[in-house]
Amino acid sequence: MTGLGRPRTLSERLWKVLDDLSMNTTVKLIFYSLSVVFFIFLILLPLILGILLKANLFWEIFAYPELMNRAKSAILWSFIIAFTVSTLDLIAGLPLAWFIVRSSSRWTKIVDSMADIPFIIPTAALGYSFLLFWSREEGISSLFGFDSLIPPGALLVMLLHFAFSFPVIVRVMVGELMNYREVYEVAAGTLGAQPFTIARTVTLPMLKPALVASFLLAFARSLSETGATVMVAGAFENGPVFIKNAKDAGLESPMVFVSSILIFLSIAIFFSIDIMGPRMRLPLRKVWPNFEKKLSSATAVKARNSLTFVVFLGLVILPSLFIALPAVQAVIDGTLIRAVRGVGPWSRFWESIT
């Protein structure tokens, strides 16, 4: 700033312009209006019109009992997996978020970055990596002498969904814990409460909106994922896999039926959790001083952190990155050089990219 209070650099002038615009009522009205228009015309209307235009096909599936049974099973499995995975993600992700924010370890930044790995891997590649890790001989199956430790199916889909929904929980809770004021925890500690008791009776109730939000985001991510799920599903079908199979078979009525049911049930569940979630009584008011003192000990904290990292590394990171091992082999056996030169089938690969 100059002596007269004027911004002297280009960046300062730009920030001043943005500040002035953000204070302008007309600009804010235009910005909010554009946001609403974007939501209505690019997100909401295509969803509604897509269903209404094919509404006449909704009832055709009832004439095919076998197809109807497959559709109902797929819908049920979608919600079972989404609810189970979101709950487990919350149980496993919250301790990791707590470690990232509250620990003084020098590894926290590395762990924080590693938690985003399932986010940055393309979903089809992530699904293939899980397939290699859990179901192929070159994966963890070889350690136990099995051809396939976990074959493609519901359990492998659940493990996959757990991994790619895990960062949602961690990222939301890390942000919330960083903005959380610890004054109430300090007050409770001053009154003699144990750390575990404080976390259970003070911190978690105040973080309840974030817990509900992260659960809903993980639930939605699990419910809608298709690309990675198809890679590990095998003969198993949840909603998205069933829709994909119906599309490949040229069957429109099953697609309309399952899509409509998934959309309307999801909306109902989301609104119910969003409304009822903040009203849930969390936690139990009763306190067990001796037991919670043991859970607050350094040994218990180390055990909790160790278990958290075993789950994080064993169920999230290693299966997600396992696909990188063939890349190392490609460097050794010369495949990488042939790929770069476009030799053989790699020429079609480069053509597809360009």
Q: Say which residues have a Cβ less than 8 Å from residue 28's Cβ, sequence separation at least 6.
A: 22
Give the range among 81-90, 125-134, 237-246, 317-326 with minimum mean pLDDT.
317-326
Backbone angles phi, psi at 35, to 5 degrees: -65, -45
pTM of the full predicted structure? Answer: 0.84
3-state secondary structure 153-168: CHHHHHHHHHHHHHHH
Q: What angle do CA 290, 296, 299 make, to 5 degrees?
A: 110
153: left (phi over 0), alpha (psi -120 to 50) or beta: left
Percent above pLDDT 70 for the chain: 95
| Mean pLDDT along residues 321-345 | 79
Q: Which residue has better confidence, 330 or 212?
A: 212
Longest dimension (CA), the chain: 81
Mean pLDDT over residues 234-254, rounded?
A: 92
The CATH superfamily of 59-347 is MetI-like (1.10.3720.10)
Amino acid present at 348: R
- Structure tokens belonging to residue 216: 């809903």
| pLDDT of 282 | 62
pLDDT digits (tens, 9 = 90+) for 267-322: 898 888 878 766 776 656 677 888 888 888 989 989 999 999 999 999 999 999 99
170: nearest Cα among 223, 91, 107, 103: 91
Tens digit of each residue's pLDDT (9 = 90 or more) over 23-76: 788 888 888 899 899 988 888 888 788 888 888 888 999 999 999 999 999 999
Does pLDDT of 191 surpass 90?
no
User: Which amino acid, one-letter code, is at 147?
Assistant: D
Q: Closest Cα partner for 206 from 194, 198, 215, 195?
A: 198
Mean model confidence pLDDT for the chain: 87
Range in 1-5, 93-97, 261-265, 278-282 the model is least confident about: 1-5
> Among positive and negative, which fits the CA dihedral 259, 264, 266, 267?
positive
82-91 per-position pLDDT tens digit: 999 999 999 9
> Is residue 282 within 8 Å of 87, Cβ to Cβ?
no
Per-residue pLDDT averaged across 202-228, rounded?
A: 90
Residues of the chain with CATH 1.10.3720.10: 59-347
| Confidence at residue 336, expressed as pLDDT on a 0 to 100 scale | 75
pLDDT over 90, % of the chain: 45
Residue 80 predicted with pLDDT over 80:
yes
Q: Tokens at residue 53, please? A: 């235009």
State the average pLDDT over residues 315-335.
83
